[in-house]
Amino acid sequence: MSLLTAEHVTKIYDNKTIIDDISIELNKGEIVSVLGLSGSGKTTLFQCISGLVSPEKGQIILNGENITGVPGKISYMLQKDLLLPHKKVIDNVSLPLVLKGKKKADARKNAGEYFEYFGLSGTEMQYPSQLSGGMKQRAALLRTYLSADGGVALLDEPFSALDQITKEAIHDWYLDVMRKIELSTLFITHDIDEAIVLSDRIYIMTRCPGRIRDEIIVDEKRPRNKDFGLSEEFLKIKRQIRSILERG
């Protein structure tokens, strides 16, 4: 049985269907991308899955439980890092634990154990404004991880604001961390290369309204070779995705 399933999800805003009859699933330990052009409703789909908005049709099942329209069950990292500027990094990261009722000192201690793992050592008592873009994303990812009770995280273009070099470095780091912490991840991106490098499977969305057009399996075991992005297999998948997107 899948860890997370979205079944026939439809969302309508102002009589306009944004996403239509979308069904996707995520298995334990998988990284699955939802790839689509701008305006294809990827973020709306994630808002439905995370419970921030209720879909007009369909349901979201997590570990066999219907969580449609119930926020707080699935961890969701939005496009920006959204670290609270007034909280120190340690307090930002431990916030999900505090919200679950842990005492501040315990939450700090618990979150602090992951700082080295996430390459954040030494930043505990700093404010987010003192961190670089890449470090902010790491801190936001750690917060997302600590918030993921059900073992599922939704990441909405988390690396889109980073420059190419930082992005590539964080991809390697991200895959390494995901392998260690065994977090099952649904990942939004409009970057084809990023989707292929990071994912086990890729759902391709078309727009107006957003529908799942195809599903691509990236049959390359993780951890992936650093040169995977230059391989023939990579280029074959990229050509396939481009042709699907161009057909619309």
Partner 1 sequence: MTARYQSITNKLPAIVALILLLVIWQVLTGCGIVPSYMMPTPISVITALVTQFPVIITHAIITLQEAFYGLLIGIILAVVTATAMIHIPVLDKALYPLMVITQTIPTIAIAPILVLWMGFGMAPKIALVVLTTFFPIAVGTLDGYRSVDPDYIDMMRSMGAGKRAIFIHVRFPMALPGFFSGLKISASYAVVGAVVSEWLGGFEGLGVYMTRVRKAYAFDRMFAVIIFIVVISLLLMLCVKLIARAVMPWTNK
Number of residues that bind partner 1 (CB under 8 A): 27
Any contact of residue 93 with partner 1 (CB under 8 A)? no
Q: For partner 1, which residue of 69, 99, 104, 226 counts as binding (CB under 8 A)?
A: 99
Q: How far is the CB of 100 from partner 1 (least distance, A)?
A: 7
The stretch near partner 1 (CB under 8 A) out of 18-26, 32-40, 65-73, 212-220 is 65-73
Q: For partner 1, which residue of 40, 94, 147, 206 counts as binding (CB under 8 A)?
A: 147
Cα–Cα distance, 27 to 207 (Å, whole number):
25
The stretch near partner 1 (CB under 8 A) out of 80-88, 102-110, 116-124, 180-188 is 80-88
Any contact of residue 82 with partner 1 (CB under 8 A)? yes
Any contact of residue 71 with partner 1 (CB under 8 A)? yes
Q: How far is the CB of 91 from partner 1 (least distance, A)?
A: 9
Q: How far is the CB of 102 from partner 1 (least distance, A)?
A: 13
Q: For residues 51 and 55, which CB has a smaller minimum distance to partner 1 in the complex?
A: 51
Q: Residue 29, class by beta-carbon neighbours within 10 Å (0-12 exposed, 13-18 middle, 19+ buried)? A: middle
By rule CB under 8 A, what string of x and - marks binding of each residue 163-182 to partner 1? --------------------
Any contact of residue 217 with partner 1 (CB under 8 A)? no
Q: Would you tell me which residues interact with partner 1 (CB under 8 A)?
A: 47, 50-52, 71-76, 78-80, 82, 84-87, 95-96, 99-100, 126-127, 129-130, 147
